[in-house]
C-alpha cells in the first residue's frame, strides 16, 4: 500500500467514524443533554447548585451528591460533557463537578451488567466500586491542588447561597420533562426498544444503498465500528438542517424570537421522533418498527413544548435556548474533531499489538490500554464488546480493567471539551490522575486475578 492509499484509508476511517457517531449518538442522547444543560444553566438558581455542589459546600454533602447525580444520569461521556459544563457554570466546585463527570459515564448500570455477563462479575464489581472510590479521590485531589484558584473564585463571585433558594414547581416539572426525554432516548430496556408493530415502506433503492454504505463504512461490532444505516444518513441530513435553522433562529434568541426559532425547534423535535423509529433496509424496502421509545418521545416532547408555551415566561425560554445554543457552539466542534481523529487512530492500531503489549500484568501492559483509550473512542456499552475482543486476543484481565476504567473518561474529544471548560492545566492534571489510578487498579486487580 503506497502512502496515498494509506492516507486515503485513514481519512475514510475518520470520516466513517464521524458519520457513524453523528447518526447513532448525537440525537437521542447528546441533543437532549444540551437541552438539559441549557435549562440547568438558565433556570436552576445558582443557590440550588451551590447548596449541594458548591465550592464552599461540605465535602460530606457535595461528593455524595455528585455520586448520586452521576448514578441517576448514567450516560456516556459525550452526553455528560454539556451537563458538566452546566453545573460548573452555575458554581459547582471543581472537585464535586469532576467526581460527577468521572462517575456518571463509568457507572452506567447497563454497561456494568453487560460487563458482568460478557466478561465476568469480578470485572463488573471492581469497575463500579473503583469508579466510585476513584471519582471521589480524584475530585478531592483536584480540589486540594487548585484550592487557591477555587478560593479566589469565591472571592470574585461571592457565596450566593444563603439558605433560602427555591426553585418554582413549574421549573422542576419542565426540568423533569427534559431529563425524561434524555433518559427515554438512552435507556436500553425492552419496553422502550422492542418494536410492537412493523410496517414496510416501498423503497427498492434501500438495500443497494445500504450495501454501498457498508462498503464505505464497514461495520465491525467486535471492534466497536457501528457503520452507517440508511436511517443514519437521513438523520445526518436532519442534523445539518438543525444546524442551519438554529444558526438563524437561536444565535440571537436572547434578543427575541423570530420565525427561524420556531422552525429550528420544530426540526429538532421532528428529528428526535424520526430517530426513535427502528428502520432496517431489506430487499422489499424499508422495514420500520414502532417501539415504546417512539410513543414516549412524542408524549414527552408534546408536554415539554406545552409547558414552554403555556407555563414558562418568555424570558425564561429565551434564556434556556440561548444557554443551550452557547453550549452547542462551545462543545460540538471539539467533539467532532475528537471523534474524527479517534476514527483515524482506530484504523492505525494493529490488533497484534494487544497481545504483545498487554498480554501480561505489567506496568506497561496496564498503561498501554489507558493511552489507547485516549485516542480510540468507543461509546458507552460499545466498550464492553471491544473489551471482550481484547480479552479474546490475549489481553490480561488487569489491563482489561484499566481499559474499562479509563475508556469512558479519557477520549480525545472529552479532553478537548473539558479543557475548554476548566482550562488546559486542570485538564492535564485530571488526565494524569485518571491514568495513574486506572493503571494502578489494573496492576492490583491483575495481581489477584492471575
CA distance 129 to 401: 12
Domain boundary among 316, 341, 364: 316
Q: Which residues pair with 278 in a beta bridge?
A: 289
Verify that 194 and 63 share a domain, yes or no.
Answer: no
Q: Are 424 and 133 within 8 A, CB to CB?
A: no
Taking the C-alpha atoms of residue 260 and residue 267, their distance in angstroms, rounded to an integer, is 10
- The model's pLDDT over 296-329, given as tens digits with 9 standing for 90+, comes to 999 999 999 999 999 899 999 999 999 889 878 8
Whether the per-residue pLDDT at 109 is higher than 50: the answer is yes
Residue 26 lies in a domain: no
pLDDT digits (tens, 9 = 90+) for 16-75: 777 777 776 566 777 887 888 788 778 877 666 667 777 667 788 888 888 877 665 555
Of 266, 299, 316, the last residue of a domain is 316
Would 25 be classed as within a structural domain? no
> Each residue of 240-264: pLDDT tens digit?
999 999 999 999 898 889 999 999 9
Closest CA to 318 of 246, 260, 271, 261: 261
pLDDT classification of 89: cutoffs 50, 70, 90: confident
159 and 179, same domain (yes or no): no
Q: Which of 97-111, 302-316, 356-370 has the highest average model confidence (pLDDT)?
A: 302-316
Instruction: Retrieve residue 234's grid coordinates.
Output: 437521513
Query: pLDDT category, 160, cuts 50, 70, 90?
Result: very low
Give the DSSP H/E element, type plus range, for residue 60. Answer: helix 59-72
Backbone conformation region of residue 394, classed left if phi is above 0, alpha if psi is from -120 to 50, else beta? left
Shared domain check, 153 and 231: no
Upper half-sphere CA count for residue 189 (Cβ side, 13 Å)? 7
Same-domain status, 126 and 257 = no
Q: Are residues 180 and 304 in the same domain?
A: yes
List beta partners, residue 225.
220
Residue 386 lies in a domain: yes
Mean pLDDT (the chain) is 81
Are residues 360 and 37 in contact, defined by beta-carbon separation less than 8 angstroms? no
Count CB atoms within 10 A of the CB of residue 375: 17
271 & 173 share domain: yes
Q: What is residue 164's predicted lDDT score, i.e. its pLDDT? A: 47
pLDDT, average across residues 383-395? 74
| pLDDT value at 161 more than 60 | no
Question: 75 versus 189: which is more confidently predicted?
Answer: 189
Those residues whose C-beta lies under 8 Å from the C-beta of residue 42, and which sit 6 or more positions away, are 316, 319, 320, 322, 323
DSSP-derived pairing of the beta strands 278-282 and 197-201: unpaired
**Pairwise pLDDT comparison (22 vs 385), residue with the higher score:** 22
Question: What are the CA-CA distances from residue 67 to residues 32, 99, 102, 301 (Å)?
Answer: 21, 7, 9, 28
Other Cβ atoms within 10 Å of 122 Cβ, number: 15
Please count the structural domains in the chain.
2
d(CA 247, CA 237) in angstroms, rounded, equals: 16
Q: With respect to residue 259, please indicate whether it lies within any of the assigned structural domains.
A: yes
**Domain that residue 133 falls in:** 45-166+349-449
- Please indicate, yes or no, if residue 146 is contained in any of the structural domains: yes
Helical segments of 119-229, H only: 121-145, 147-157, 169-186, 190-193, 206-216
pLDDT (0 to 100) of residue 391: 79
Q: 308 with 202, same domain? A: yes
**Beta strands per DSSP E along 190-348:** 197-201, 278-282, 285-290
Does 174 share its domain with 312? Answer: yes
Whether 185 and 294 map to the same domain: the answer is: yes
Q: What is the C-alpha to C-alpha distance for residues 388 and 106, in angstroms, rounded to an integer?
A: 17
| Cα–Cα distance measured from residue 391 to residue 395, given in angstroms and rounded to the nearest whole number | 5
Q: Does residue 32 lie in a domain region?
A: no
Say yes or no: 279 and 356 in one domain: no
Amino acid at each position: 500500500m503506497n502512502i496515498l492509499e494509506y492516507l486515503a484509508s485513514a481519512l475514510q476511517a475518520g470520516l466513517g467514524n464521524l458519520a457513524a457517531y453523528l447518526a447513532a449518538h448525537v440525537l437521542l442522547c447528546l441533543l437532549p443533554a444540551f437541552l438539559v444543560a441549557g435549562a440547568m444553566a438558565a433556570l436552576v438558581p445558582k443557590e440550588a447548585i451551590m447548596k449541594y455542589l458548591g465550592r464552599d459546600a461540605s465535602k460530606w454533602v457535595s461528593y455524595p451528591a455528585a455520586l448520586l447525580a452521576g448514578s441517576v444520569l448514567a450516560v456516556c461521556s459525550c452526553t455528560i460533557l454539556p451537563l458538566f459544563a452546566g453545573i460548573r457554570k452555575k458554581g459547582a466546585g471543581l472537585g464535586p463537578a469532576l467526581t460527577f463527570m468521572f462517575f456518571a459515564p463509568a457507572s452506567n448500570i447497563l454497561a456494568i451488567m453487560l460487563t458482568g455477563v460478557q466478561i465476568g462479575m469480578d470485572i463488573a464489581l471492581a469497575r463500579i466500586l473503583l469508579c466510585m472510590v476513584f471519582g471521589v479521590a480524584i475530585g478531592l485531589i483536584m480540589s486540594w491542588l487548585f484550592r487557591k484558584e477555587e478560593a479566589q473564585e469565591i472571592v470574585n463571585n461571592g457565596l450566593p447561597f444563603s439558605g433560602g433558594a427555591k426553585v418554582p414547581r413549574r421549573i422542576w416539572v419542565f426540568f423533569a420533562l427534559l431529563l425524561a426525554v434524555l433518559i427515554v432516548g438512552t435507556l436500553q430496556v425492552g419496553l422502550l426498544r422492542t418494536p410492537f408493530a412493523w410496517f414496510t415502506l416501498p423503497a427498492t433503492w434501500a438495500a443497494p444503498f445500504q450495501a454501498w454504505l457498508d462498503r464505505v463504512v464497514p461495520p465491525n461490532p467486535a471492534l466497536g465500528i457501528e457503520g452507517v444505516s440508511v436511517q443514519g444518513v437521513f438523520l445526518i441530513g436532519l442534523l445539518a438542517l438543525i444546524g442551519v435553522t438554529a444558526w438563524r433562529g437561536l444565535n440571537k434568541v436572547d434578543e427575541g424570537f423570530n420565525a427561524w426559532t420556531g422552525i429550528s425547534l420544530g426540526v429538532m423535535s421532528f428529528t428526535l421522533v424520526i430517530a426513535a423509529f427502528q428502520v432496517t433496509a431489506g430487499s422489499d424496502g424499508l422495514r420500520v418498527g414502532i417501539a415504546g421509545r417512539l410513543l414516549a418521545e412524542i408524549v414527552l416532547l408534546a408536554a415539554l413544548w406545552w409547558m414552554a408555551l403555556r407555563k414558562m415566561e418568555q424570558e425564561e425560554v429565551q434564556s434556556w435556548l440561548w444557554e443551550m445554543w452557547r453550549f452547542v457552539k462551545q462543545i460540538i466542534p471539539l467533539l467532532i474533531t475528537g471523534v474524527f481523529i479517534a476514527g483515524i487512530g482506530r484504523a492505525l492500531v494493529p490488533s497484534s499489538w494487544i497481545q504483545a503489549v498487554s498480554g501480561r500484568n505489567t506496568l506497561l501492559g496496564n498503561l498501554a490500554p489507558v493511552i489507547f483509550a485516549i485516542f480510540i473512542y468507543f461509546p458507552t456499552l460499545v466498550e464492553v464488546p471491544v473489551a471482550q475482543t481484547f480479552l479474546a486476543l490475549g489481553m490480561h484481565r488487569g489491563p482489561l480493567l484499566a481499559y474499562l476504567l479509563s475508556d469512558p473518561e479519557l477520549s480525545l474529544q472529552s479532553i478537548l471539551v473539558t479543557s475548554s471548560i476548566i482550562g488546559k492545566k486542570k485538564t492535564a492534571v485530571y488526565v494524569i490522575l485518571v491514568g495513574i489510578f486506572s493503571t494502578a487498579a489494573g496492576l492490583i486487580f491483575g495481581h489477584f486475578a492471575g
